[in-house]
Amino acid sequence: MDVLTKIRSLQGERDWTDYKLAQEADIPLPTLTSVFARNTTPKLETLQCICNAFGLTLAQFFLEDEKIEVLSETEKEMLQVFRKLSPKQQKALIDVFTE
């Protein structure tokens, strides 16, 4: 996987300039500019900041053939509650929402 191409792709999806990405990632613009100018993979800490800006984990960033689906905080909370339910309760809840 070409990390820089992936970053550019994610920027394009959001119509973000390098300046906007640097702001959202809370990294200095010269750091980001240097990475692209030298065509080098960013340091792990920098890549983590970039992933955070895009709302992705590092694992999600490196997924290639699978759809990346980012959950909102509400969706995460719902999933946590759902997982604590018994199988019978889970089925009942699904039945309520699919009727």
Question: Which pLDDT belongs to residue 84?
Answer: 86
Q: What angle do CA 58, 22, 37 make, to 5 degrees?
A: 90
Q: 4-37 pLDDT, tens per residue? A: 999 999 999 999 999 999 999 999 999 999 999 9
Spatial neighbors of 29 by CB under 8 A, at least 6 apart, are 18, 19, 22
The pTM of the full predicted model, rounded to 2 decimals, is 0.66
Q: E strand or H helix at 47, and its extent? A: helix 44-54
